[in-house]
Structure 1
Amino acid sequence: MTLALLCALGTSLCYGLGSVLQGAAAMDIAPAARLDPHLLLTLTRTWRYPTGLALDGVGFLLSLVALRSLPLYVVQSVVSSSLAVTAIAAVVFLGLRMRRREWAALVSVVVGLTMVGLSAASQQPDAVGTRGQVVILIVAVALVLTSIAVVRVSDRSGAWVLGGAAGLAFGVVAVAARALPAFPSGSRPAHDAQLLLTAPALYALLLAAAFALTAYATALQRGTVVQATAPLVVGETVLPALAGLALFGDHPRPGWGAVAVVGFVVAVGASLLLSRYGDVEAAVDAVEPLGS
């Protein structure tokens, strides 16, 4: 379980730094009027976005390790602390100062994560059958279709809407990753590949991931990183936590239920208070000398 917690913390670190880099890159591109996957190709022309995307990729792989032995509510509450990572990076690398309430929020994140970690019980998730995986895929498709209808909200509220949609999509990614079939010990690679390719959860994961990246990049253009990331954090933590209880039989250690709930709320809530340090408008000039 210690390794899984370390992987979850590594995910938070990668996501926090990746969001700052992606936000800086998105600010240099003219806002898109609709969800356009071509936007991702445009963003790769600068070094910041591919680097941030690579950090997200590493974070996702680490999260897969964590999700195999930890409840979703534990992993996602740790992931929400990526905003605390952003705050620390702003202080260390940009020289920004934190007021007492931000320091209090940072301490609260640590306290909340400690409570969540102490309440966690190492467990194997309940197997999700084909029907459950199809439900996850339907949710992913419905989320994409619904978000396309509201993407033309062009004012700053559009950043909140698309950020929240991206968060829900990242939540679907986490749920789908947890629902992927486990490969039997000693099975043949061809059998494992067939098992994976016929799993609806795989396609839910791929669809949700592609949509989440596009929606988040568009949200970053509609407003600040704060406005895009704060609702994202809520979406990617609350949805998986509820899905973990309903689909996978997640549970804390016996007698630690109240500690888990309080720790989750404190960690996520305090992370949101730190979200203003996700705003990288002041950081763009600081990183510009490295070139594009």
Structure 2
Amino acid sequence: MNGIVAAFAATGLYYVGFAIFKLAADRMEPVRANRLPHMVWVILTNWIFLAGLALVLGGLGLQILALTKLSLGIAVPIFMSGVLPLLVIAMIFFGDRLTPREWLSLALIGTAVGLLTLSVGRPPPIEAVDVPTWKMAVVVVPAIVVPLLINMFGDHRPDGRHARPVTGIAYGLSSGFPVGTAELAIKGWSDSSSQGLGVLSTPYPYVTVAAAALGFGIMVAGFQRCRVSIVAAVMTVAAKSYLLVMGAFMYAEPWPSDTSHFAMRMGALALAALAVAQFPRHRPLGEGPVPAPEAVPPVQDVFGSRIPRPRAPLAPLAEPPLAAPHPPPQTPTPTPYRGDPLGRGPYGHYDSGNPTENDQR
């Protein structure tokens, strides 16, 4: 199979699989990385997720085939292009709606993909490279350990009645770097001189499985809480940028030597970083809390009813208290001070010039 065809086919399988991950995320109980065994059990026992995983594994096989024939400079723009059909799927099937600022970020991502494509130039031939252990450790360990610790010790969406829902940037970054690490291992897998089962003696299959499992788990948690278009777009930018930059470091794949192609590649990476940086971190205040998805009747939903997510519902408006009835007016009781405009009381008061009994004393 042609390498470019294999790359496009791998990308298509990947993002259709990610869309199925979203269907699975809406139909499983909430998962959190600080409850890792529970998270693994819930995800791996969901048959919808396993169906999506089968497609993603098919894309994995095609990606290995593509990277045996293509350099990273050619393959990465093809892999990044898959976010566009996923965006269409998210809007049509999942009802995602974006703000103008989010549309601007996606436009910057599209421009970055175009610049990456133009920066290819004349890539060098593919050569197998033996990666030293220290290089692999420098690239792999931070990309796996840091997202795992972030998700285990703090959730990205604060709970509470008045908490503002997040857009999913943190989930996209936390899943993108492990996925990019898995693709780096796939690149080493495709370049390895070991054939057949001999590749099991290399670290590439094990790094691929561990990094992909972590990235997919965080992705499912993000799909439960945020819009798939935002999580998937940020994940794609983070994963492919990490693949391109660290791939040159690990596998000694040179970048364009002429000034124009080098500038376009640097400009593409800068635009991708700017797109992620200017994504809003929270949903607009005017939108209010995100409503929980309505359960779809089993007759209409072949995948089973979705589990409503615990959101921050608006407090019901309290009925205004009824005003207490005004008591009827009462006639004041006559007192000795009635008719005393100065309020001096009976002492020292003269009536018609005659002193009172107390004054006579």
Same fold (TM over 0.5): yes
5 Å matches for 1:240-255?
240-251=243-254, 255=258
Is 1:166–1:216's contact at 8 Å kept on the other side of the alignment?
yes
5 Å matches for 1:228-267?
228-251=231-254, 255=258, 256-262=261-267
Rounded to whole Å, the distance in 2 between the matches of 1:77 and 1:269 is 17
Rounded to whole Å, the distance in 2 between the matches of 1:129 and 1:115 is 29
Cα offset, 1:146, TM superposition: 2.8
**Highest Rg: 1 or 2?**
2
Cα offset, 1:211, TM superposition: 1.0
Q: Does 1:174 align with 2:174?
A: no
Rounded to whole Å, the distance in 2 between the matches of 1:113 and 1:283 is 36
Cα offset, 1:169, TM superposition: 0.1
Cα offset, 1:168, TM superposition: 0.3
Q: Which has the higher helix share?
A: 1
Q: Does 1:76 align with 2:76?
A: yes
Q: Does 1:201 align with 2:204?
A: yes
5 Å matches for 1:139-288?
139-143=142-146, 145-155=148-158, 156-157=165-166, 159-180=168-189, 182=191, 184=193, 193-194=197-198, 196-251=199-254, 255=258, 256-262=261-267, 288=300
Question: Which letter does structure 1 place at the counterpart of 2:129?
Answer: A
Q: How many residues are treated as equivalent by the alignment?
A: 282
Cα offset, 1:17, TM superposition: 1.7
Q: Does 1:290 align with 2:289?
A: no
Cα offset, 1:24, TM superposition: 2.1
CA change 1:272–1:71 in 2 (3 A) is farther
Cα offset, 1:173, TM superposition: 0.5
Q: Does 1:26 align with 2:35?
A: no
Is 1:81–1:267's contact at 8 Å kept on the other side of the alignment?
no
Identity of aligned residues (%): 19
Match of 1:61 in 2: 61
Q: With the length of structure 2 as denominator, give the TM-score of the two structures.
A: 0.61
Cα offset, 1:127, TM superposition: 1.0
Query: Secondary structure of 1:39's partner?
Result: helix
Cα offset, 1:109, TM superposition: 7.4
Structure 1 regions of 5+ residues with no counterpart? 274-280
Cα offset, 1:31, TM superposition: 1.8
CA change 1:205–1:245 in 2 (3 A) is same
Question: Which letter does structure 2 place at the counterpart of 1:55?
Answer: L
Q: Does 1:10 align with 2:22?
A: no
Is 1:35–1:215's contact at 8 Å kept on the other side of the alignment?
no
Rounded to whole Å, the distance in 1 between the matches of 2:89 and 2:38 is 30
Q: With the length of structure 1 as denominator, give the TM-score of the two structures.
A: 0.73
Rounded to whole Å, the distance in 2 between the matches of 1:257 and 1:13 is 28
Rounded to whole Å, the distance in 2 between the matches of 1:58 and 1:249 is 28
Cα offset, 1:60, TM superposition: 1.6
Rounded to whole Å, the distance in 1 between the matches of 2:108 and 2:24 is 31
Question: Which letter does structure 2 place at the counterpart of 1:57?
Answer: L
Could you report, residue by residue, the CA deviation over 1:110-158 in whole angstroms, capped at 9, with x for unpaired residues? 8765654454325214613332234344335533553344443343449
Match of 1:278 in 2: none
CA change 1:31–1:217 in 2 (3 A) is same
Query: Secondary structure of 2:6's partner?
Result: helix
Cα offset, 1:234, TM superposition: 2.3
Rounded to whole Å, the distance in 2 between the matches of 1:104 and 1:283 is 30
Rounded to whole Å, the distance in 1 between the matches of 2:184 and 2:38 is 27
Question: Which letter does structure 2 place at the counterpart of 1:52?
Answer: G
Rounded to whole Å, the distance in 2 between the matches of 1:210 and 1:40 is 9
Structure 2 regions of 5+ residues with no counterpart? 159-164, 279-291, 305-361
Question: Which letter does structure 2 place at the counterpart of 1:62?
Answer: L
Cα offset, 1:160, TM superposition: 2.9
Is 1:73–1:240's contact at 8 Å kept on the other side of the alignment?
no
Rounded to whole Å, the distance in 1 between the matches of 2:224 and 2:100 is 30
